[in-house]
Amino acid sequence: MCGRFDQNDIARALSNFSWVDEYLNRSQAEPCWNVAPTMRRPVMHVEGAALVLDDLHWGYQAGWARGKVPVAVNARLEKIIGKYWAPLLDRGRCIVPADGWYEWTGDKGAKQPWHIHRADREPLYLAALAWFAPAEYAAGTGFALVTADAQGGMVDIHDRRPVVFTAADATTWLDPEISGETAAELARSMALGPDRFAWYMVDRAVGNVRHQGAELATPIDIQLE
């Protein structure tokens, strides 16, 4: 499960979309280095021919599933063509721009967080599915990150990692002209592999959602630990 990420430089992520002369920015979100489920965060999607940035809650639950299944913050790649996710795969594909995500290792009570990012420090484009119908986005009608488990997490082999695209493949994912099945195959075949990432230990304070500052994504001096 991917349950925390770092999203602090949206403008830089958007600058890699060379086909976009202008975009509609409806986001009011501030930079955040410790994004957690239920928070409202910017997602990129296509509306007509325009790229739009909207703030959505992190978490999705189909209306018909309320009381039956919990709100999901992740959508398993191997299940996105199934009944639950297929409507969003066809009509609700979006991208969550990010600068990194967090994984934890170690025993319960002493887990060590790691900040995972592209080795070249380029922005991350996280594949996501969202519900865009409501006039006002509410908890449970937001987005879920697509995750894969083919090789586990980057530092935790038992974890699932988000599907991360380049800007070019993110553009294809957003294209409303491609089918859901084509989009799913794109996620399976074009997600960036482990060799494209790097990671370092960060302060355990990132485990508390009340902490939001840039220091959370700063490497710690391991010798002091």
Asked whether residue 212 is domain-assigned, the answer is no
Give me the CATH number covering residue 176.
Answer: 3.90.1680.10
Alpha-carbon distance 196 to 171, whole Å?
A: 19
Q: How many residues does the chain have?
A: 225
For range 45-63, the mean pLDDT: 91
Total structural domains in the chain? 1
Nearest alpha-carbon partner for 76 in 198, 188, 196, 193: 188
End-to-end CA distance of the chain: 26
- Tokens representing 154 are 């980057």
Asked whether residue 105 is domain-assigned, the answer is no
Asked whether residue 111 is domain-assigned, the answer is no
Q: What is the pLDDT of residues 123-166, one digit of tens each?
A: 999 999 999 875 555 556 799 999 997 565 567 666 789 999 99
Catalytic member of 32, 78, 103, 177: 103
Asked whether residue 156 is domain-assigned, the answer is yes
Asked whether residue 220 is domain-assigned, the answer is no
Asked whether residue 109 is domain-assigned, the answer is no
Instruction: Based on the residue annotation, tell me whether 2 is a catalytic residue of this protein.
Output: yes
Instruction: Based on the residue annotation, tell me whether 30 is a catalytic residue of this protein.
Output: no
Provide the pLDDT confidence category of residue 224 given band limits of 50, 70 and 90.
very low
pLDDT of res. 93? 98
Looking only at the bridges linking them, the beta strands covering 100-105 and 197-201 are unpaired
Provide the pLDDT confidence category of residue 225 given band limits of 50, 70 and 90.
very low
43: domain range? 5-100+123-195
Asked whether residue 108 is domain-assigned, the answer is no
Asked whether residue 209 is domain-assigned, the answer is no
- Tokens representing 102 are 């967090």
